[in-house]
Every structure is written in C-alpha cells, then in structure tokens.
Amino acid sequence: MAKVIVTGILGQDGANMAQYLLDNTNHEVFGAMRRSAAPNYINVEEFRDHDRFHLVFLDLVDANSIEKVVTDIQPDYFVNFAANSFVGISWTMPEQVFDVNALGVLRCLEAIKKIRPSCRFYSAGSSEEFGDVDYSPQDLNHPIKPRSPYGASKSAARGIVKVYRESYDLYAVHGILFNHEGPKRGEEFVTRKITKGVARIKVALEGNQKFDPIELGNLDSQRDWSDSRDFVKGVWMMVNQDEYRKEKTGEVKDYLLSSGKTYSVREFIKMAFEAAGIKIKWSFRGTTGNSASPENEVVEDDHGSVLVRINPKFYRPADVDLLLGDSSLIREELGWKPEIDLWEMVKDMVNKDIGIESHNERMFQFRAEEDENFRIIR
C-alpha cells in the first residue's frame, strides 16, 4: 500500500484525484489543505470517512509545514494541485500567486530532496503558459509566452521541476493541463458561473420568480475543455509512466492533457441552457453608441427576458483568444484517452447545480413559512 499526498484536496482536481485513487487502488490518500477559518468540505463529503483517506494541514508558502508533512507521512507520491488558480485575480495579487504556484513547487521539491528522494512528484501546469500562441494545436515544444501573472507562475514551476529532475535525479513531472471542468469546479470559474447561473434561472422560471441575468466578459474566447475526472487518470499515468509506457526507456518526462477540440464561451452557454431545457436567442439591446457592439449583446428567452449580458468589468487586461492542445504524446506513449465529452460534462454540471438551487429554494421557502408562523403565533 503506497502513501499519496494530494494537495488542493478541497478543490476540483484534488477531490477527483482522491476519489480516483480510493476507487481504483489500495493506496492510502492524505488530502492536504490549508488551515482555514471556514473550510468547505463539499467536494470530499463522499469519501471523507473512508478508512484510507486522511486530511492533513499543509501550506505551500510555509516550508516547515511541507517538511513536517513529508517527514510524518514518508509519501511515495506527492500530487500537487494546490494553487492560486483564478487567472483574473492574478493581476491584482501577482506576488501571492508566484509565492504559491512557483515557490510552492520549489518548497515541495526541496522537502522531497532532503527527506524522501524516492517520492514521485507531480506539478499541475496550465495551458495559460503558452499565452500568445504561435501555432495550434499547442504541444510541449510550443514557446512559453504567458499573458498573465498566473500563466507566468506556472511557467516558472515547469522550469523548477525540470531543474530538480535533471539536477537531483528526482521523479518529478510537470503536466500541462488544458481547461478542465466538472461538477466539483469552483464557483469563481466562468464555466461554473455559467452552469450555476443557468440553474438559478431555471429554478426561478419554474417558480415564476424574478432573477438577475448572468454577467460575463469575452464570449468569443475559445478553450479546449475536458472533464477533470478524465484528467486525474492522466495525471496518475504521468507519475507512473514507467508502468504505462509501451517502450520501457526509463525516461521521466512531462506530458500534456487536452481534448484536442475547441469551443467558445458562447457555445458553452448554449449547451448549458440546452441542458436545462431553456430555449435561447441572441440579440442586441443597445441604448448608447453602436447598438451592435459586443457590450450590447444579450441572451434572451422566448419571452424576451434577458438571461445573459456582457459586463466589461469581466474583461481581462490581456486575454488569450485561442487555446487548443495536442495531447498525442501521452495518448501514443501511455495510452491515455478522454472518456467524457463536453456535452456530457455540461449536463452533469447543470444537473448538479439545478439540484443545489432547488434545495436552496426549498430551504428558503421553509424558513419563510417558519417566520410567518412565528409572527402569527406571537
């Protein structure tokens, strides 16, 4: 039985990685999280009481914290998904983003080098490292040209992993992950913002209630979206590539995960409303300037109610228009392939959010009835 540390355990990827390991291996999983005044355990509730799952405290900005956990657990694997991972925020707090995303990786590798050099390490990379792309689809040979502090921090982490792998003979892998979503995705990400908003509108329409439209930025950004549940399988292959590789070369290398297909935010919106059974149409509602400008574009339902509108405050200072990945290397060498297509993923996300919104609405009505009964009794 191997011991696996998974950081970012309360997030989408960490939780999915833990679930995959508990379901498909006999390994002991140590889910690492920062100390927080109000942690949200919703992503780990399904397996929180599993006898092979344990929660531990670890902070990537604290080397002593990392070293203590590595010393106490003596892990065989260290899978790092912890990060400041919201691209938009990285412009407002670049120093903190680098401290976690780049220096955090350095601290982990230092701890492994000193305490447990046999431990296999995974660093989660991002397609944002490519940034201003030269060609599509992007592969591992594409120049690194990030357009955000977040992308730059992930690029730095990639370099750190390479240095430690080559200098200290550590089994360290930096896997570049293109956009990946799922029902456990955080609400600050645009895909979950869309599916949660669609669910909120769905429940409001069914109850003949008023609702606020979803506000978004650039609808024409194109992304290579996959399901996180497929990606964690690929990550596990990366840290065990000697077992999966057809040609047993003994080499440890980085890989890239992607679907190889690209869709716009606009197309994601269409899928989400379709999954909820809501018919939509695109139109313009301009009051000033050019009425057909992007800022005046809206999504309406059959009754003319605005469901989605553009808010310029959600535009990024610098955006990446198109990201499309070439994952042929890991498909050919390790045999990885995605199993969940975008439509299935969107339906899963929307259905989960509809369930959450319906529950919240029932609880709100229940409390309102209780308050009314209390007033009547008094």
Q: Is the pLDDT of residue 319 over 70?
A: no
Q: What is the mean pLDDT of residues 159-177?
A: 98
Tens of pLDDT, residue by residue over 352-373, are 999 999 987 665 454 545 455 5
Tens of pLDDT, residue by residue over 203-218, are 999 999 999 999 998 8
Q: Is the pLDDT of residue 224 over 90?
A: yes
pLDDT of residue 290: 54
Q: For residues 188, 191, 196 and 198, what is the CA-based torsion angle, rounded to 10 degrees?
A: 140
pLDDT of residue 285: 74
pLDDT of residue 291: 55
Q: What is the mean pLDDT of residues 25-35?
A: 97
308 or 365, which is more confident?
308
In this prediction, residue 38 has a pLDDT band, given cuts at 50, 70 and 90, of confident
pLDDT of residue 91: 80
pLDDT of residue 318: 58
Q: What is the mean pLDDT of residues 305-322?
A: 77
pLDDT of residue 136: 93
pLDDT of residue 376: 46
Question: What are the φ/ψ torsions at residue 89 (nearest 5 degrees)?
Answer: -70, -20
Mean pLDDT over all residues of the chain? 91
pLDDT of residue 103: 98
- Please name each of the domains of the chain with its CATH number: 3-179+224-257 (3.40.50.720), 190-220+263-319+341-366 (3.90.25.10)
pLDDT of residue 289: 53
Task: Flag whether the pTM goes above 0.85.
Answer: yes
Q: What is the mean pLDDT of residues 87-93?
A: 82
List, in sequence order, every residue forming a beta bridge with 256; answer none if it has no partner: 176
Tens of pLDDT, residue by residue over 98-145, are 999 999 999 999 999 999 999 999 999 999 999 888 999 999 999 999
Q: What are the C-alpha distances in Å from 230 to residues 52, 93, 182, 343?
A: 22, 31, 10, 14
pLDDT of residue 79: 98
Q: Is the pLDDT of residue 306 over 50?
A: yes
Which of 245-249, 292-296, 369-373 comes out lowest in average pLDDT? 369-373
Q: What is the mean pLDDT of residues 88-99?
A: 88
Q: What is the mean pLDDT of residues 263-284?
A: 95
pLDDT of residue 88: 75
User: By C-alpha distance, which of 215, 227, 208, 235 is closest to 315?
Assistant: 215
pLDDT over 90 percentage in the chain: 76
